[in-house]
Chains A and B, each alone.
Chain A
């Protein structure tokens, strides 16, 4: 029962070490649930979870939807193009409407950084950020950390993690860097100089404009998706050029430790940021990340849907 309690999961920046590990420990119990003959527990029976995705995302939305259903909650999905937003409704009115429907948890993805914070300010529901603009994607970072724990144990001290790609536009990179640093890992960020944000030093990570020094001796390699919509802009060279200089292939992977994990948040551009043989190779835990995603989101929804003053995310 401490003051740092959270009802919402808006970003890794709102968590502390204790609350982050709490989510990861809870997810461990839920991973077991997802492997049972009956993959459903009655924990959130009678609760309503509304997924509001203003940006398209099949993977994350499906993962949240499955997580909610496996907790026996009623789950409703609202997509951006089908919602009233396309008819001109403001985000504030959308929030009021969802509140009037007595949503217990609102899961929101939005192209605007800070959208989840905005919803949390005006809603009575617990709010989970499923990605807001270039800001944060906390459940992705938590599921990545969970996947690493499954393979490398719970101690991140001294673990070397390389995060490679478009760091500037990546909320995945930002949330991961924050969480992995909090857990004690040594994080290296690598990308073309044009895709490294100004002020990147504040993340407390090593920063490189080439991929090789980041890969050197790494225990974990996270490749970020190159967003094709950013191609052709002055920031990014052609795809083939990017693959040649920044793509992860089996030759470059030899720079990392033997037994290093290769991760990707998906969806992958095969042959661009990651080569075919690495994506499907023995180091890849990309499908484990998907499985972890449901367990971690079950933990987050369970903690967020509990009554105010009881099982909030951040109390120890």
Chain B
């Protein structure tokens, strides 16, 4: 097990990315953050906080659950639990930034783009992740990332949140998984 990002480097990195976003989107008037459930939610919340510090107000923050958009939706999941998707405003003409914890095969992002498109026609969609790891199976890349890392095929990247903030670490695929990075708003269990 090795640490990729500790809470301090996540905070610094997200502040840098918030600056890049504000610069690229000219103050970000049309910006909407859309977290990919569930790992992207804590990341998007932290990013929204930094954007708010820079611009004085946070952009609208939504989330999509991609269970129903997976390319293996009806065959692969042993026990699908469909979480709520919450999009707070129309996405027509907006600049949408999809936020997730780790970019790996790209299949989740492909599904998330399809989900976002069902809520309207954004002007553009960008992707922000904490960790960009190798192993892409689709021609996709992140516009913003904190760290690019080569990870062995028998390893995985886990992002988790504690009272100090978000961290990312690499561990063996066989290791027990860490509880999800954020509570699941609107869910009882």
* A interface, CB within 8 angstroms of B: 1, 25-26, 28-30, 32-33, 36-38, 40-45, 47, 71, 154, 302, 305-307, 310-311, 315-316
Contact A307 B118 (CB under 8 A): no
Central interface residue in A44, A307, A310, by most chain B CB within 10 Å:
A310
CB distance from B7 to the nearest CB of A (A): 32
Contact B85 A38 (CB under 8 A): no
A-B contact pairs, 24 of them (CB 8 A): A28-B84, A29-B82, A29-B85, A30-B82, A32-B84, A32-B85, A37-B119, A38-B118, A38-B119, A40-B118, A41-B68, A41-B118, A42-B68, A43-B67, A43-B74, A44-B74, A71-B68, A154-B188, A302-B68, A307-B74, A307-B75, A310-B77, A311-B80, A316-B79
Bound complex: CA of A316 vs CA of B76, how far in Å? 16
From the candidates B69, B75, B78, B120, name the one contacting A42 in the complex (CB within 8 A). Answer: B69
Contact of A41 with B77 at beta-carbon distance under 8 Å, contacts A29-B84, A36-B119 already known: no
Contact A306 B74 (CB under 8 A): yes
Contact of A41 with B119 at beta-carbon distance under 8 Å, contacts A29-B82, A310-B75, A311-B78 already known: no
Residues from chain B with a CB closer than 8 A to the CB of A40 are 118
Residues from chain B with a CB closer than 8 A to the CB of A28 are 84
Q: Is the interface of A mostly helix, strand, loop or mixed?
A: loop
Contact A41 B74 (CB under 8 A): no
Residues 78-134 of B contacting A (Cβ, < 8 Å) = 78-86, 114, 117-120
Residues from chain B with a CB closer than 8 A to the CB of A32 are 84-86
Bound complex: CA of A102 vs CA of B121, how far in Å? 36
Q: Is the interface of B mostly helix, strand, loop or mixed?
A: loop
Residues 117-163 of B contacting A (Cβ, < 8 Å) = 117-120
Whether a CB of chain A sits under 8 angstroms from the CB of B73 is: yes
Contact B84 A37 (CB under 8 A): no
Contact B114 A26 (CB under 8 A): no
Q: Tally of A-B residue pairs with Cβ under 8 A? A: 62
Central interface residue in A41, A45, A154, A315, by most chain B CB within 10 Å:
A41
Contact A310 B78 (CB under 8 A): yes
Residues from chain A with a CB closer than 8 A to the CB of B77 are 306, 310-311
Residues from chain B with a CB closer than 8 A to the CB of A36 are 118-119
CB distance from B59 to the nearest CB of A (A): 20
CB distance from A168 to the nearest CB of B (A): 37
Bound complex: CA of A1 vs CA of B120, how far in Å? 38
CB distance from A204 to the nearest CB of B (A): 26
From the candidates A1, A41, A305, A315, name the one contacting B69 in the complex (CB within 8 A). Answer: A41
Contact B76 A310 (CB under 8 A): yes
CB distance from A32 to the nearest CB of B (A): 6
From the candidates B74, B85, B188, name the one contacting A47 in the complex (CB within 8 A). Answer: B74
Residues from chain B with a CB closer than 8 A to the CB of A29 are 65, 82-85
Task: Select from chain A the residue with minimum beta-carbon distance to B111.
Answer: A42
Other A-B pairs beyond A26-B81, A310-B74, 10, CB < 8 Å: A29-B65, A30-B82, A38-B119, A41-B68, A43-B67, A154-B188, A306-B74, A307-B74, A311-B80, A315-B79
Residues from chain A with a CB closer than 8 A to the CB of B84 are 28-29, 32
Contact A42 B83 (CB under 8 A): no
Contact A311 B68 (CB under 8 A): no
Bound complex: CA of A302 vs CA of B77, how far in Å? 12
From the candidates A1, A44, A45, name the one contacting B78 in the complex (CB within 8 A). Answer: A1
Central interface residue in B65, B67, B73, B119, by most chain A CB within 10 Å:
B73
Bound complex: CA of A311 vs CA of B75, how far in Å? 8
Bound complex: CA of A98 vs CA of B65, how far in Å? 34
Residues from chain B with a CB closer than 8 A to the CB of A310 are 74-78
Residues from chain B with a CB closer than 8 A to the CB of A33 are 68
Bound complex: CA of A154 vs CA of B74, how far in Å? 28
